[in-house]
Amino acid sequence: TIRIAVMKSGVLFRYKDFLPLTSSTPLFSLGEGDTPLVRSPQLEQEIGCKELYFKLEGCNPTGSFKDRGMVMAIAEAMEVGSRSVMCASTGNTSASAAAYAAYCGLDCIILVPKGNIALGKLAQAIIYGANIVAIDGNFDQALSIVRVLTDKHPVALVNSLNPYRLHGQKTAAFEIIDVLGEAPDYLFIPVGNAGNISAYWMGFVEYHKAGKTKIRPKMMGFQAEGAAPIVRGHPIEKPQTIASAIRIGNPASWQKAVAARDESGGIIDMVSDDEIMAALQLMATKAGIFGEPASAASLAGLIKLARKGTDFSAKRVVCVVTGTGLKDTETVLKGDKSFLELPPDLAAVEKALGWG
């Protein structure tokens, strides 16, 4: 049998009073949660917010927010004696499932859309030892196959349709309130399969009920223009976007996300690939934060609204940076990103730098 260390850290231990745990849930951790909330004075000024923070979910053990939900889902799977887990993924869920399954000695089967997953994420799934199936189709098709197979065979579903995933992910909302002492006025967040926006809202609502915050934020979800089923009001059969993580045409948590939007007085809108890449670059050059393309949809959305005239000058805003940019370097290195190439010659380098 596999031995699992019980940890007095990580989201299960830290937020045990708010999670669906039992006395036999293994409270283990790979170091997920407690991610930085970084303030950016430069971007506050540029965009015109009173306070602007980035929640750096790329600092989780596998480089995305998925680890919060996965530790909860895998702990539950262990508790009920599952031997294997399965998910469909645009990359991050599969990387996280593969890592947590590896730690717990579970088999992990993942279905990914062939050619549409960032290489860093594929490398993660490979090295963690997952059973990988690349299908010649998109995420939505992969997920519908996984739903049937996990129903039919003794394998646990660890997509966010598994309610334990959302419980784990809601802990990010708790952390924001624990750090700020209050919820922000606005939370900007990318929307793909729509689980995360639903989980954050659940977290804000629960902490509000528990008296930990007086206000609840407006939930500001952003899809990519070519993959914006919620904005357009119908599923998109062939979703397209450079932000492969949110290339999703029929989100599983569609209704929950709409409820989060409406109950919070927020919006779900969309941003173009150009706006996403401009925001990714701005976040890197002005805040020193490298997010993956999907992650930049948060800031892209904020910029879009500020340009259209929404006044944030008295507002406290949090943008969720859902995954690290190191997962998807190929997208950034595409195009004409040129730099100097010189011989190892002092004078030549000095001259090229304008000091010669």
Between residues 27 and 321, which has the closer beta carbon with respect to ligand F0G?
A: 321
At closest approach, how far in Å is the CB of 230 from ligand F0G? 10
Tell me which of 40, 196, 241, 264 binds ligand F0G, using CB under 6 A: 196
DSSP H or E run through 273: helix 273-287
90 near ligand F0G, judged by CB under 6 A: yes
Q: What are phi and psi of 220, to 5 degrees?
A: -115, 95
For residues 192 and 88, the answer to whether their CB atoms sit within 8 Å is no
Nearest distance in Å: CB 94, ligand F0G: 6
> Applying CB under 6 A, does 35 fall inside the site for ligand F0G?
no
- CB closer to ligand F0G, 27 vs 85: 85
Using CB under 6 A, which of the segments 9-17, 77-85, 145-153, 192-200 binds ligand F0G? 192-200
Determine the Cα–Cα distance for residues 74 and 82; give it in Å rounded to an integer.
9
Of the pair 29, 196, the CB lying nearest ligand F0G is at 196
User: Beta 51-56 vs 37-39: how paired, if at all?
Assistant: antiparallel
We find the least distance from the C-beta atom of residue 122 to ligand F0G, in angstroms, to be 12
- What are residue 282's phi and psi, to 5 degrees? -65, -40
What counts of helices (H) and strands (E) characterise the chain?
15, 10
**Which residues 6+ apart lie within 8 Å of 162 measured at CB?**
73, 156
Nearest in space to 130 (alpha carbons), one of 100, 154, 110:
110
CB of 52 to ligand F0G, least distance (A): 19
Q: Does residue 72 touch ligand F0G according to CB under 6 A? A: no
For ligand F0G, which is the closer residue by CB, 27 or 268?
Answer: 268
3-state secondary structure of 71: helix
* Segment interacting with ligand F0G, rule: CB under 6 A, options 32-40, 122-130, 227-235, 291-299: 291-299
Helix H or strand E segment including 110: strand 107-113
Buried b / exposed e along 315-354 (16+ C-beta atoms within 10 A): bbbbbbbbbbbebbeebbeeeeeeeeeeeeeeeeeeeeee
Say if residue 147 is exposed, middle or buried (CB neighbours under 10 Å; 0-12, 13-18, 19+): middle
Nearer Cβ to ligand F0G (67/76): 67
Q: Which residues pair with 281 in a beta bridge?
A: none
The nearest distance, CB 68 to ligand F0G, in angstroms, is 11
Stretch that binds ligand F0G, among 75-83, 186-194, 302-310, 343-351 (CB under 6 A): 186-194
User: Which listed residue (33, 168, 190, 301) binds ligand F0G by CB under 6 A?
Assistant: 190
**Nearest residue to 222 via CA among 237, 252, 243:** 243
The one among 76, 292, 302, 305 contacting ligand F0G by CB under 6 A: 292
* Minimum CB distance to ligand F0G, residue 245 (Å): 3
64 lies in the site for ligand F0G, by CB under 6 A: yes
Binding test (CB under 6 A) with ligand F0G, winner from 12, 70, 74, 191: 191
Is residue 195 within the footprint of ligand F0G (CB under 6 A)?
A: yes
**What backbone torsions phi and psi does residue 56 show, to the nearest 5 degrees?**
-90, 80
CB of 48 to ligand F0G, least distance (A): 25
SS3 67: helix
Tell me which stretch binds ligand F0G (CB under 6 A): 70-78, 91-99, 263-271, 310-318.
Answer: 91-99
Comparison of 25 and 244: residue with beta carbon closer to ligand F0G: 244
Q: Is the dihedral of CA 220, 259, 14, 127 positive or negative?
A: negative
What does the binding site for ligand F0G look like in residue numbers (CB under 6 A)? 64, 66, 89-93, 160, 190-196, 245-246, 292, 294-295, 322-323
